[in-house]
A and B are shown apart, each in its own frame.
Chain A
Amino acid sequence: MQLDFHYYATYCAAFLSGYSHEESIRIAYCAQFVDNCSRRYLARIKGPRSAASTQTQIELADAPADPIGLQDIVRIWAPFHFLPYDLYAPVKGVRSYKNKYRLICRPNGALVKDTVELAKGRSLEAAGVAMHVLADTWAHSYFAGVPSLVINNTNDYFYEILPGGDRKVNFRSSVSKPDDPEKGDYTGSLFQPNENSIMNLGHGRAGHFPDYSYARYKYMPAWADYDEIVKDNPSDYMHAFRQMVYAMKYLRGEHDTFTLSTYDTETVSEHEEELMSIITKRQTLASNDWKAFGEKLSGREIPDFDVNAFADEYMAAAKDDKDETVFGRFILAVLAQKSMVVGKIFSSGNLLAGFSVDYSKKGFRGIQDFAALIEARMEEMKK
């Protein structure tokens, strides 16, 4: 998903679930900031590098394809953008194939529940991070947050389903040309026969096309044994929106439990027609429409997303006070999510995300950046 959904649509969902305008802005900001918090950005604000929740194109181009480099990529892309659906999925093949297959993302997996529950009782920033992860499970279905030709490759059989009939999607590798929904021309990554090439990360081969809410398409994923998959983004985006409203009502305490495959129907229903008109409009960025809808809901102006909105606050804070800033709380939420998902992947016997040390059993043995998270949890326990 893109800024239109992560920022503006998340604002709308937060407001509909009962958060105030200011709280909704904070949640939406953090949901979008997950796509901006790279190591380079963290270096600039002097934050912990392990809190990176994304990698820039250049960082990816520079990423080594050795086991450590791959683990680093998985630690960023699986917890935040391609949440694995079933870490124990039954599948035939050697271990290296099984491990990658089990990282395929889909909505309503056990880790979605873990993600939302992890944010319960914590900060607005944690809610924002959780909403990013939840929303991406819908747009990024059937792709995995690990470079893999055998999982993420797409081939010539890729058609957009249009009212007048199917049209083959023309994927090209020219990044200078913008995607053209009218002609059906989209930019995708170059075919690379190397299993671990960065070109084969997530939905890179299909470019941004899976991120467009209007897209209805059918294709044959590399892993699906020649079975055709039909992806209906308008329906999925509506499900994502309803699930965000439901999840945030849970975070606010309106529901005692968070149940998978449950969606808010009451609150959203009265806006369904308007929402569908935004979602199905053929445009590569729907920010203006979502913004107008959000402003109509709250009667307040939604500021444009400014990546540096809270940077000065974080940099100016004394070392001991950083965790009390917006970025400080965001960083703790990112570390917690990363720690949880990597821990679950490791516990499943899958080493693609690297090693994870269970603090409750073995104490602190890991990367020093996570000490801040442990200290924060200890503070919580004292309270």
Chain B
Amino acid sequence: MTTVKRIENILIGLLMIFAAVAIIIRPDEGYAFVVGILGLSLLVIGIKTLVYYFAMAIHMVGGKMILYEGIILTDLGLFSSSLATLPKAYVMIYLVLYNLIEGGINVMSAMESKKQGAPWKKKMGEGLLNIAFAILCIAMGGSVNIMVEVYAAGMIISAISRIAKAFRKTAIVYIQ
């Protein structure tokens, strides 16, 4: 990883922590923030897909589908961003699915490690935490505050992971 990339990761991580704390303190504005992020995400993904098509998928057999996907996603993103509010159910579904999938993979990974006698407790803990988040989202389905806090907690975990990665050694030795 280049030094610039390391600095970028640390700064983004710190910004994410700052944003997470902010939305915990002000949950009502936090909800609007989460909804805004989701709408913006679609737009960004759409534009990224278009850039990906013109940079890479244009060389690919059947690459035109990427172009169509980019156009549709960008259109959807623009449409979503124009909406004043997004039903809470969508945000809930996103949070529940994200945490369940992540948790499931972590738990399976931990079980595989355990079977082979490798360290597994940390991974299992992460997986159970993800699943607990998902259950919390379902149990507290009506509470905007809890939902925003779950989202903020996810952001903090991602931020810490991003900062930790910036300090990881990444070069291997080339011996002639």
**Within the assembled complex, what's the spacing in Å between the Cα atoms of A355 and B119?**
28
B63, B117, B118 — which one has the most chain A CB atoms within 10 A of its CB?
B118
Establish whether residues B61 and A220, one from each chain, have CB atoms under 8 Å apart when the complex forms.
yes
Establish whether residues B174 and A224, one from each chain, have CB atoms under 8 Å apart when the complex forms.
no
Residues of chain A within 8 A of B172, CB atoms compared: 50, 75, 338-339, 342, 354-357, 366-367, 370
**Within the assembled complex, what's the spacing in Å between the Cα atoms of A343 and B172?**
8
> Apart from A62-B106, A222-B60, A343-B175, what are 10 other A-B pairs with CB-CB below 8 Å?
A44-B116, A58-B108, A67-B1, A97-B56, A155-B62, A193-B65, A222-B62, A223-B60, A336-B175, A370-B175
Establish whether residues B109 and A59, one from each chain, have CB atoms under 8 Å apart when the complex forms.
yes
Establish whether residues B59 and A225, one from each chain, have CB atoms under 8 Å apart when the complex forms.
yes
Residues of chain B within 8 A of A88, CB atoms compared: none
Establish whether residues B69 and A58, one from each chain, have CB atoms under 8 Å apart when the complex forms.
no
Determine how close the nearest CB of chain B comes to the CB of A66; give it in whole angstroms: 8
* 22 residue pairs from A and B, CB less than 8 Å apart: A59-B109, A61-B105, A61-B109, A71-B170, A93-B56, A149-B57, A193-B69, A195-B56, A195-B57, A220-B61, A225-B59, A225-B61, A336-B175, A339-B174, A340-B174, A343-B174, A354-B170, A356-B172, A356-B174, A359-B175, A366-B172, A374-B173
Residues of chain B within 8 A of A32, CB atoms compared: none
| Given A40-B113, A61-B108: A224 in contact with B170 (beta carbons within 8 A) | no
Residues of chain A within 8 A of B105, CB atoms compared: 58, 61-62
Residue from the list B59, B69, B117, B170 in contact with A93, Cβ < 8 A: B59
Q: Is A271 an interface residue (CB 8 A)?
A: no
A227 to B, closest residue via Cβ? B61
Q: Which residues of A contact B (CB under 8 A)?
A: 39-41, 43-44, 50, 56, 58-59, 61-62, 66-68, 71, 75, 92-94, 96-97, 100, 149-150, 153, 155, 193, 195, 220-226, 336, 338-340, 342-343, 346-347, 354-360, 364-367, 370, 373-374, 377
Establish whether residues A94 and B61, one from each chain, have CB atoms under 8 Å apart when the complex forms.
no
| Mask: chain B, 7-24; 1 = CB below 8 Å from A; 0 = not | 000000000000000000
A41, A150, A193, A354 — which one has the most chain B CB atoms within 10 A of its CB?
A150
Residues of chain B within 8 A of A342, CB atoms compared: 172, 174
Residues of chain A within 8 A of B176, CB atoms compared: 343, 358-360
Residues of chain A within 8 A of B112, CB atoms compared: 40, 56, 58-59
Q: Is B55 an interface residue (CB 8 A)?
A: yes
**Within the assembled complex, what's the spacing in Å between the Cα atoms of A136 and B18?**
49
Q: Which residues of B contact A (CB under 8 A)?
A: 1, 5, 52, 55-57, 59-63, 65-66, 69, 105-106, 108-109, 112-113, 116-119, 123, 165, 168-176
| Given A358-B176, A367-B173: A224 in contact with B55 (beta carbons within 8 A) | no
Establish whether residues A367 and B61, one from each chain, have CB atoms under 8 Å apart when the complex forms.
no
**Within the assembled complex, what's the spacing in Å between the Cα atoms of A366 and B1?**
12
A157 to B, closest residue via Cβ? B61
**Within the assembled complex, what's the spacing in Å between the Cα atoms of A219 and B175?**
39
Establish whether residues B108 and A358, one from each chain, have CB atoms under 8 Å apart when the complex forms.
no
A220 to B, closest residue via Cβ? B61
**Within the assembled complex, what's the spacing in Å between the Cα atoms of A356 and B176?**
12
**Within the assembled complex, what's the spacing in Å between the Cα atoms of A377 and B55?**
43
Determine how close the nearest CB of chain B comes to the CB of A110; give it in whole angstroms: 15
Establish whether residues B109 and A357, one from each chain, have CB atoms under 8 Å apart when the complex forms.
no
**Within the assembled complex, what's the spacing in Å between the Cα atoms of A251 and B170?**
33
Residues of chain A within 8 A of B117, CB atoms compared: 43-44
Residues of chain A within 8 A of B174, CB atoms compared: 339-340, 342-343, 346-347, 356-359
**Within the assembled complex, what's the spacing in Å between the Cα atoms of A144 and B108?**
27
**Within the assembled complex, what's the spacing in Å between the Cα atoms of A68 and B173?**
16
Residues of chain A within 8 A of B165, CB atoms compared: 66, 68
A43 to B, closest residue via Cβ? B118
| Given A43-B113, A68-B170, A222-B61: A150 in contact with B56 (beta carbons within 8 A) | yes
Establish whether residues A150 and B60, one from each chain, have CB atoms under 8 Å apart when the complex forms.
yes
Establish whether residues B61 and A226, one from each chain, have CB atoms under 8 Å apart when the complex forms.
yes
Residues of chain B within 8 A of A370, CB atoms compared: 172-173, 175
Residues of chain A within 8 A of B169, CB atoms compared: 366-367
A95 to B, closest residue via Cβ? B55
Determine how close the nearest CB of chain A comes to the CB of B48; give it in whole angstroms: 10
**Within the assembled complex, what's the spacing in Å between the Cα atoms of A50 and B108?**
22
**Within the assembled complex, what's the spacing in Å between the Cα atoms of A232 and B171?**
39
Determine how close the nearest CB of chain B comes to the CB of A84; give it in whole angstroms: 16
Establish whether residues B59 and A68, one from each chain, have CB atoms under 8 Å apart when the complex forms.
no
Determine how close the nearest CB of chain A comes to the CB of B99; give it in whole angstroms: 15
**Within the assembled complex, what's the spacing in Å between the Cα atoms of A94 and B171?**
25
**Within the assembled complex, what's the spacing in Å between the Cα atoms of A40 and B110?**
10
B52, B62, B174 — which one has the most chain A CB atoms within 10 A of its CB?
B174
**Within the assembled complex, what's the spacing in Å between the Cα atoms of A66 and B59?**
23
Residues of chain B within 8 A of A220, CB atoms compared: 61
| Given A150-B63, A357-B172, A367-B171: A40 in contact with B116 (beta carbons within 8 A) | yes
Determine how close the nearest CB of chain B comes to the CB of A323; give it in whole angstroms: 15
B117 to A, closest residue via Cβ? A44
Residues of chain B within 8 A of A58, CB atoms compared: 105, 108-109, 112
6 smallest CB-CB distances across A and B, nearest first, come from: A343-B174, A43-B118, A355-B171, A44-B117, A366-B173, A370-B173
